[in-house]
Amino acid sequence: MINKNILNDRQKEIDSLIDELIPNDNINELIKKYHVELESYNYINNVVDFSLLKLRGSMKYINRYDKKLRYGGLLIKIYEKNGKWHGIIKKINNKKYYISFDNNYIFYLESKEDTLRDWAELFITEFNNGEYEVE
C-alpha cells in the first residue's frame, strides 16, 4: 500500500516546480534588473509590433520561464506558424536560433545601417532639390 503522506509531499513538490516555471514576473522588474544590458533597446509588448519589426535589427530577449536575458542576435526572419509568431535570429558565429514571441519578452534595436541609409537618402533628395549650395 502507498503512503498517502508521500503522495501529498510529492504533489506539493510538483506544484512548487510548476509555480516556478509559470511566467508571473512583472516586466518592469525585469527591465530594471537588466537596465544596463537593455539600454537603447525597445520593449516589444505586443505581437502586432513584433510582426512588423524590420529585419537586420538587433534583438535581445528574456525567457519568460527562467527570467534570464539572452543576448540574441541579428533578426533575419519573422513568421507565423499555427497561430504563434516566431523570429529567427543569427548570431555572430552564424548559428541560427528560433525565438517564440509567446515564450519570451522581446527587446529590439533598429539597425544603425537603416538609420544611416535613411539619412543619406534624405540628404541626396535635398541636395538634388537644390537645398544645398555647392561651390
Residue 2 has pLDDT above 60, yes or no: no
Cell numbers found for residue 67: 527570467
pLDDT tens-place string over residues 23-81: 555 888 999 999 999 999 999 999 999 999 998 889 999 998 889 999 888 999 999 99
Residue-wise burial string across 96-120, b where 16 or more C-beta atoms lie within 10 A, e elsewhere: eeebebeebbbbbbbeeeeeeeeee
* HSE-CB of 85 using CA atoms within 13 angstroms: 17
Q: What pLDDT is attached to residue 135? A: 63
CA-to-CA distance for 3 and 8, rounded, in angstroms? 9
pLDDT tens-place string over residues 84-95: 999 999 988 889
User: Are the C-beta atoms of residues 118 and 124 closer than 8 Å to each other?
Assistant: no
Higher pLDDT, 121 or 31: 31
